[in-house]
Structure 1
Amino acid sequence: MSPFLFSTAITFLLFFPWVSSVEFVYNTNFNSTNLLTFGDATIDSSILSITNGTFSIGRALYPSKIPVKSSSNSSKLLPFYTSFVFSIAPLKGFLPGHGFAFAFLPTAGIAGASSSQNLGLFNFSNNGNPNSSIFGVEFDVFANQEFDDINDNHVDVDVNSLKSVASSLTGFWGGSEGDKLKGLKLNNGVNYQVWVDYEDSILNVTMAKVGDKRPIRPLISVFVNLSTVFLDEMHVGFAGATGQLVESHRILAWSFSNSNPSIGNALVTTNLPSFVPPKDSVFESTGFIVGVTIGAVLLVSFCIAMYFLLVRFRRKRNGKKDDIENWELEYWPHRIGYQEIYAATKAFSDENVIGSGGNGNVYKGVLKEGQEVAVKKISNESEHGIREFLAEVSSLGRLKHRNLVGLRGWSRNDKGSLILVYDYMENGSVDKRIFDCHEDSMLSWDERVKVLKDVASAIWYLHEGWEAKVLHRDIKASNVLLDKYMNARLSDFGLARTHHHSELASTTRVVGTVGYMAPELIKTGRASTQTDVFCFGVLVLEIVCGQRPIEEGKPSLIDWTWRLMERQELVSALDDRLKGKGGHSNEEVERLMQLGLLCAHPEAHVRPTMRQVMKLLEARHEGAAESEGEGMELNLLHRLSSTTTWGRFSGREHPTFNEIKRNMSSSMSMSNSDVILDGR
């Protein structure tokens, strides 16, 4: 070789280093040789399943890392072009969630990944970390407010965080000029093809039903600089996760290249297996259920409207606009004249607003007798507003207990606004006295214990102490109010439902507050006394720890305290602001925490009843008599050992009620309550 040619070759190699081209095509022929699986990911009949069951995490990656930069000391990225066919199918008996992502990852395995909303990409600690070196295009069917998701059927572009850099409703741009977004539903079992192209820092994401022509206009087109995100070499593949919400995530075919923009054309898109669920009978179909529901709602709304029109007509005819009906005197709280309410709240002035909700504001008012009241003005423009009004009047209006907020009466104006009038609670909500207050007005240990006993007494009355069983369904710190004597009172019965004691709840509508909802309520939508007990358990942990059930960037309160119990460190969970003030014992703190975890046990049958909770809270000494006909002894402490601890239960599920009975000490110093059985 001549010196000139040799010199030219050396110069080319120095300034234009060679990078190997990566290209592969898998047409429903995945196996353990061409794909590495981690976690719950499996290959079945040459099809990749990323997740399996509840709280599942799975990843599937190309067997080796691929180069993503033109050289090891360069920031210039190689382009990549990939296409894949996927199917997300619902599972009968479960609500859908969460999703999967095509991803570039720095390492193999599932270390550093969590289930549920984290999609198998991140966990609480590394989500949002700029050094995570994680890039993904996610397909998500759950709207997570913490990540600012746009809805429950979206496509996102994630760079080191689940707070996306670009989002879109799921679909494709169609029409003669590509200006009409046509929606697609992810969670229906249909096979979809996706194209993801990255070149010169421009990322294009396109999708369509499998077999359809690739749309000209991408669903997402965004500038993304990945030079500071990618390492020299990266793993590429898929990640997915489920939680209490479950669905299947399958990949049927996949192609990838860092040099061929048309690699997606190599995928076979015909004669693919279908995962669309079989249609239910017409009586189980969504259309039939929606039709019956709408018909029932319209019928109820019509009856309510006719009732108000009839009453209004009778009043005008008799010239007695504010007469009190006989049935109101016997069963419901009294109607209060609208003009009296109008004057009491200074014409519903803004300065009298003390709270607000989804259906209207709450005002402070002073009646002409000088009595302070809280006035809730509910909009009747929505079905939910009318339903809340009826729930409050029909349940709280007839309930009488010292630990329930009293409903004094109701009213309405000529425009139809619905108004509820309550006893005024001078000391606000427990929520504000723990989280949004100065230290001098924060609840002390003894006050917190009394709050829990008061709330337990109220829930017991709702479940067992009245003529019918009442499910509150929204027990939380902001719904517990404090009167001028610091007695806790349960409020807000807008979601409450009444049932006969022998009757099971028939609603399957998921209602409540995130962080307080029992697992079976999320799964089935069916409320029960045990779902109220679960709410109470979360409330116990919240009040003792001084932490909210769910906080961004932290594990849930239940998970955190459960881990502390496994390490026998429950006492350390006590609100830091209380530790230096005294007034409590470590044994007392530990037993309340144990009770909270028992009430918030994931298995409903393990949770105690509120009757049992009351007896545990009221246990003071060993001299209590036994109650006739009870399934358990009133004097539980006679049967407990003062030396045993919960340590022997570590490494297991939450202990059962009998186990907590056997391990509660007689040193519990909580004060006795004069309200145990008689709550009327």
Structure 2
Amino acid sequence: MSSPSIFLFLIANFQLLTSVSATEFIYNIDFNSTNIQLFGNATIEASILTITNASVHSIGRALYPAKIPTKSSTPLPFSTSFIFSISPFQDLVPGHGFVFFFTPVTDIKGKTLPELLGLFNRTSNGSSNNHVFGIEFDMFLDEQFNDIDDNHVGVDINSLNSVASHTAGFWGGKDDQKFEKLDLNNGVNYQVWIDYLDSTINVTLARAGQKKPQRPLISKLVNLSSVLLDEMYVGFSGSTGNLVQTHRILAWSFSNENYSIGDALVTSNLPSFVVPSKGSVLGSKGFIVGLSLGSFFVICCATMVYVVLHRRKRRKTKEDEIGDFELEYWPHRIRYEDIYAATLGFSDQNVIGFGRKTKVYKGVLQGVEVAVKRIPYESDYEMRQFLSEISSLGRLKHRNLVPLRGWCKKETGNLILVYDYMENGSLDRKLFDCDENTTLRWKERMRILKDVARGILYLHEGWEMEVLHRDIKASNVLLDKDMNARLGDFGLAQMHHHNQTSNTTGIIGTIGYIAPEFVRTGRVSSQIDVFSFGVLVLEVVCMQRQLGKYKPSLVGWIWGLKERGELYSAFYEQLKERDECSIDQIERIIHLGLSCTHPNPAARPTMRQVVKVLEGENLDTSLLDKINSAAAASSGYAGTYPTVAEIFQSHDTCSLTILLEGR
């Protein structure tokens, strides 16, 4: 196959990800009209999803705005978690409940019976044509559906006659043998985890903020092959009759590839919907008088204490200035003494890596191998800015991102971060610091590129904010014991709302990976990450680092070879000899790297399209004309990539936060 034909083949693979692709999202008290569809009586109040309210004989339904892939020859696995609150209204009898469910349609017409939770009517209940699968939270004992009690969780397939059910609660205690019942209809915030894998549905319930119990409340083998369609809607449904209560969803996460997605939900400082009991003394005159006198006394005492402690407060260390919001959003704080012991006193013998102003140590913390990074800072502003950013980034959960295990701030001028230890080190060592016998094989390299691409896609599209990594390179790709790739080092990352761009006051990143438009304009968008990933692709395939300080970049060099028809000379010779991969395959991936590093950011693919190409899927040809035009105009691209010297000449050195890789 000729080089132009391969380029056309690659072009034919660019398009948005479709039904067989991953779906992942996280909502933390940020529901709005753009990320949820509302039907019937469902509303959004203060960014909280309210399925039903005080209205009688009504249905509320809320769905993710687009269909998601649920089957590809066999049902796809998924994991979802949400936080809900069910609360009664005073002087009204509560009922009935709500359901999390998959459905092929959004329509609620004809679904009138309140005890059917807005899913069916009396005729359609039990029909195999429904293609509905759900998990119900039912507070009404209905004998016609063989309900076990008026406070249970059930697994429903095309019917409210549950195939499995259990009284609401969780298993705990020694060996998970003690069952603790939970009253669903009391306004308390509860978290649910629903996992479907290997034809088994696991449903776990606990109070919000409580660690996920090891033993599921329900574990049931179910065959969903005839139930789920290729694509379906997913969401919540509830109903009221003469029995009325409110059903609220405070947070919701979903993924069909990340089984720790529930960890991303914020579970602390949530609003409370617990209804005070009628016998409360809070409104009595005696309570009000006592409260007034007590308040006056407390104010007097507080004033005296304030005078005594005011100066002491000024002398508090920076350790105490870290606010509660870090404690809420970060992984847990780790004692400095434990980290010191784990690294043998930050011994030089335990150093496993160096970064920008940092040292990374290997340690053993509570029997688990960890990587400990010490990050110096020179001002309070730098410390607070870094803490603020990491406090949010610590909420990211994806199997292709390095997990942040915890943190510590003990030493003056140093912030300490603790990550999971990656046994196989960084990708750059596997690429450039190994002999011929340990060189990564073609399949391993392609799997690593897929892993990194999926991680970047999650950063760009899979979270509530768009996260730009801005420092994607081989040394920031780490490999775990199974050689799965994980993207790490978020020290330069930036977050903003989706579909927004912003400008920076200086150029940041690593020389050889910086997009040319970023050097010229300082404009930040997801395309700068796409460019960096393209450089990584070329490094992985060609087994060459970006070139020297005053030479053209690796990207410019390969573009020059392509323009001269000499692309073959860029291949790593031993790669062809050792591996069972064709030259066509190698050229196809090189063309992917060149497409990602196109000088025009508008001509680059999105990470969603990149993942699709790496997964080898074909597309229609709707984008051929546009991308063919860009390819035809490729002459001269080799000279469009700035050298290190040009970057330093065109920018004030004080505005640069850049690294020279390998120097």
TM value normalised by structure 1: 0.44
Task: Please give the TM-score of this superposition, normalised by the length of structure 2.
Answer: 0.45
Structure number with higher relative contact order (C-alpha < 8 Å, ≥ 6 residues apart): 2
Larger radius of gyration: 1
